[in-house]
A and B are shown apart, each in its own frame.
Chain A
Amino acid sequence: MAMKIGNEKFKDNVNKQMEDTFMRGAVAGAQERLRTRRLDAAEELGNWEEWRSHGEEIRQHTLDHLDYYLQELSENLQKRGGHVFFAATAEEANDYVKGIVKEKRAKKILKAKSMVTEEIGLNAVLEQEGCDVIETDLGEYILQLDDHDPPSHIVTPALHKNKEQIKDVFAEKLEYKQTSEPEELALHAREKLRQEFLQADIGITGCNFAIAESGSVGLVTNEGNAGMVSDLPDTQICVMGMERIVPTFEEFEVLVGLLTRSAVGQKLTSYITALTGPRTAGEVDGPSEFHLVIVDNGRSGILGTEFQSVLQCIRCAACINVCPVYRHIGGHSYNSIYPGPIGAVLTPLLGGYDDFKELPYASTLCAACTDACPVKIPLHQLLHRHRQVIVEKEGRAPISEKMAMKAFGIGASSNPLYAAGSKVASSVMKPFTKDETISKGPGPLKAWTEIRDFPAPNKERFRDWFKQHQKESGKA
């Protein structure tokens, strides 16, 4: 699996997903719970806006000096005995990891949840090498068991599945015989995975934030699986998107707090781990070999452009959790491992407009995403910017729409035309009007009236009433 998770058209996807009533119920319920938790967690701090502004300035500063901080990170990790590989493409990253796997003759590979490894399609590459690759985040584990069902959310990837469906997957793949109670399911996964942890050759994690000053990698989980993956296997590989970095532990702390509060409404999650290179002399657990793979894969193409702020993202999913469109269409509709507003901005930048040009239109520009973002990415503005690029730079808009908008430009900006158009609107629409309502409109109105009634144009335009009103009150 890479970033793109299917070949269906966006509209077909949406129609299919909207029939999944369980998914929609699960998403709506989750949105409501998470919204309250996030707002409470923000309120507790008292001055949330100040925290957001600080988060924003940290992310902007880091991006503006990204070359410096990546250099510093790699120097410091090398001093601690770690290996650093800079990968310009997904292929380079995968090849490097493959090389380590071959060198170690590794068979069993454990993974902690990581979006960037999904993006580069690492699992498939390793499986082709004959490795047993096991996801250890409970949600990812469920999806992997279910014949690699793609994630539908960047924090809770199995959000679209209910516990009955999960029970069925466990029964089929793990000979599970107990109930669908989440506690029992989780316990079963714990027992199964515990054995895997103890036998793994290589552990692979993502990276929430690397810390330049010390060459550290910060990992944030609730389950403790990242700890398992980094403590037990003898070789550890961290894969990070190149923008996921902060200058020092002080900024790390600020962003971790913003992440955990925004993602799950917790002050901190159960496990936050800062790893600095391999284990030191005398230590027993932790890896003897530590590799950091820093991935570009299209990100540098966003730097220095009007879309740079999307790289501020800390993958908390707050925008997804408030999005009224995601609420109804779910994650799989986006055809990308990055769904929701952040996905609709990021996916076309990384994957191109050919496959993803509908995504920026899957928004009402209601700005709930922008409001929720803990690092103040102007998401709705970036969605709008995409539309502008698609229309004006790429010329990909449908002809009929282009004509309509041209007409708009001429009509709306010319008083005589606007006045004439609005004046005759009432009589033009008359054949379609019944009880001052249009329920089956012509032309562009058709799409509207398929769903809702449309008011008939006023018999008297407001401007005509006003003229009369002025006369009556002796002002004109």
Chain B
Amino acid sequence: MIQNREAFLANVASRLSRTKVLTERPERNWNYRPQDKTLTDKTQDELVDILRDQCRLIHTELIETDSAALPNVLAEAVAAYGGGPLAIWQDPRYEAFGLREKLQSWPKQGIDVHEWNPSIGYDNISIVEKSNIGITFSDITLAESGTVVLFSGEGKGRTVSLLPNKYIALIPKSTIVPRMTQAAQQISKQVQEGKSIASCINFITGPSNSADIEMNLVVGVHGPVKAAYIVIDDK
């Protein structure tokens, strides 16, 4: 429902010296486009280097591995963060990256794994809230800022990356792009093609933090206190 629009916009239009509200999409002819030449000449390996450097600034551990070693590397990362309970998405990529076996063996070792399950509704949130670590894949990864981009969806609960104490992002190397520019272009393209975008797109850069007390940086306020990225060579 849209309320009060007509009078409101008529007033805006008249302030802009128009007799009625503009209905044709205005041309956007920019004189400047610095984003087109920022980091766009980097190779995928150079982007990993940039990401690695940036992770140091955002209090995030960066681990590099390949598909074969991933299960063990993830297990080590989980152990280093104090083990379970774990919360993960319902996402075919865990299997595609050879993690099914690990996910099945964890509960036998006393590490609970909750896979997001739309059929149990709000109970997901209560379980995730009590989890120690949330583990998700990154849909797009921004090298410059050290950011993982997550699209919400049926199996991809928003809170998995937010409520647990720690967060681990699994980053297929192929998802790495130079900066937010490329992610924005992908999303905008979807919109222009008439496709539906995710109801929640999260750009997450390291653990949560605040500088509200005397401008001292405190890591871990409402979201995770610690974050790690695992970059997987998937070529």
A residues whose Cβ falls under 8 Å from a Cβ of B = 26, 29-30, 33-34, 45-47, 50-51, 53-54, 57-58, 61, 64-68, 70-72, 74-75, 78, 80, 83-88, 92, 96, 136-139, 142, 156-159, 162-163, 166, 182-183, 185-187, 189-190, 193-194, 197-198, 213-214, 216, 222-225, 227-228, 230-232, 242, 247-250, 252-254, 256-257, 264, 266-286, 294, 296, 300-301, 303-304
Asked if A182 meets B159 with Cβ closer than 8 Å, knowing A54-B33, A78-B2, the reply is no
Give A216 to B184 CA distance when docked, in angstroms. Answer: 13
Contact of B211 among A45, A75, A222 (CB under 8 A): A222
Contact (Cβ within 8 A) B212 A156: yes
Chain B residues with CB under 8 Å of A268's CB are 142, 145, 147, 180, 203, 205
Chain A residues with CB under 8 Å of B199's CB are 80, 275-280, 283, 286
Residue B99, interface by CB 8 Å: no
A-B contact count (CB 8 A): 295
Contact (Cβ within 8 A) B125 A303: no
Contact (Cβ within 8 A) B215 A30: yes
Contact (Cβ within 8 A) B3 A85: yes
Residue B73, interface by CB 8 Å: no
Contact (Cβ within 8 A) B154 A248: no
As a 0/1 sequence over residues 149 to 167 of chain B, the CB contacts with chain A under 8 angstroms (1 = contact) are: 0001110011100100000
Give A304 to B13 CA distance when docked, in angstroms. Answer: 10
Contact (Cβ within 8 A) B4 A68: no
Contact (Cβ within 8 A) B212 A139: yes
Chain B residues with CB under 8 Å of A284's CB are 116, 118, 121-122, 124-125, 157
Chain B residues with CB under 8 Å of A156's CB are 211-212, 215
Chain B residues with CB under 8 Å of A301's CB are 15
Most chain B Cβ neighbours within 10 Å, of A159, A269, A283, A296: A283
Give A33 to B217 CA distance when docked, in angstroms. Answer: 12
Asked if A303 meets B16 with Cβ closer than 8 Å, knowing A53-B32, A74-B5, A268-B203, the reply is yes
As a 0/1 sequence over residues 180 to 218 of chain B, the CB contacts with chain A under 8 angstroms (1 = contact) are: 110111011001100011111111111111111111101
Chain A residues with CB under 8 Å of B203's CB are 268, 271-274
Residue B22, interface by CB 8 Å: yes
Contact (Cβ within 8 A) A273 B16: no
B residues whose Cβ falls under 8 Å from a Cβ of A = 1-5, 7-9, 11-13, 15-18, 21-26, 28, 30-35, 38, 54, 58, 116, 118, 121-122, 124-125, 129, 142, 144-147, 152-154, 157-159, 162, 180-181, 183-185, 187-188, 191-192, 196-216, 218, 220-224
Contact (Cβ within 8 A) A67 B16: yes
Chain A residues with CB under 8 Å of B18's CB are 67
Give A87 to B8 CA distance when docked, in angstroms. Answer: 8
Closest 9 CB pairs of A and B: A224-B223, A282-B154, A139-B212, A253-B184, A86-B8, A224-B208, A267-B145, A54-B32, A272-B203
Show 11 residue pairs from A and B whose CB-CB distance is below 8 angstroms, ordered by the A residue: A65-B16, A84-B5, A182-B218, A186-B210, A190-B221, A225-B221, A228-B222, A272-B147, A283-B153, A285-B125, A285-B158
Chain B residues with CB under 8 Å of A213's CB are 188, 191-192
B24 to chain A: closest residue by CB: A68
Q: A198-B125, A282-B118 are in contact. List 6 more A-B contacts (CB 8 A).
A: A54-B34, A75-B2, A86-B8, A139-B212, A213-B192, A273-B200
Contact of A247 among B28, B121, B145, B157 (CB under 8 A): B28
Closest chain-A Cβ to B19's Cβ sits at a distance in Å of 11
Most chain A Cβ neighbours within 10 Å, of B147, B153, B154, B222: B222
Contact (Cβ within 8 A) B12 A66: yes
Closest chain-B Cβ to A96's Cβ sits at a distance in Å of 8
Contact (Cβ within 8 A) B184 A51: no
B21 to chain A: closest residue by CB: A67
Contact (Cβ within 8 A) A223 B210: yes
Contact of A68 among B21, B118, B122, B147 (CB under 8 A): B21
Chain A residues with CB under 8 Å of B3's CB are 83-86, 96
Give A68 to B207 CA distance when docked, in angstroms. Answer: 38
Asked if A61 meets B4 with Cβ closer than 8 Å, knowing A232-B159, A304-B15, the reply is no
Contact (Cβ within 8 A) B202 A186: no
Contact (Cβ within 8 A) A285 B124: yes
Most chain B Cβ neighbours within 10 Å, of A156, A183, A249, A286: A249
A280 to chain B: closest residue by CB: B199
Closest chain-B Cβ to A32's Cβ sits at a distance in Å of 10
Give A230 to B43 CA distance when docked, in angstroms. Answer: 37
Chain A residues with CB under 8 Å of B207's CB are 270
Closest chain-B Cβ to A94's Cβ sits at a distance in Å of 14
Chain A residues with CB under 8 Å of B26's CB are 61, 64-65, 68
Chain A residues with CB under 8 Å of B9's CB are 67, 70-71, 86
B189 to chain A: closest residue by CB: A249
Closest chain-B Cβ to A347's Cβ sits at a distance in Å of 20
Chain A residues with CB under 8 Å of B221's CB are 138, 186, 189-190, 222-225
Contact (Cβ within 8 A) B23 A270: no
Closest chain-B Cβ to A341's Cβ sits at a distance in Å of 20
Contact (Cβ within 8 A) A294 B154: no
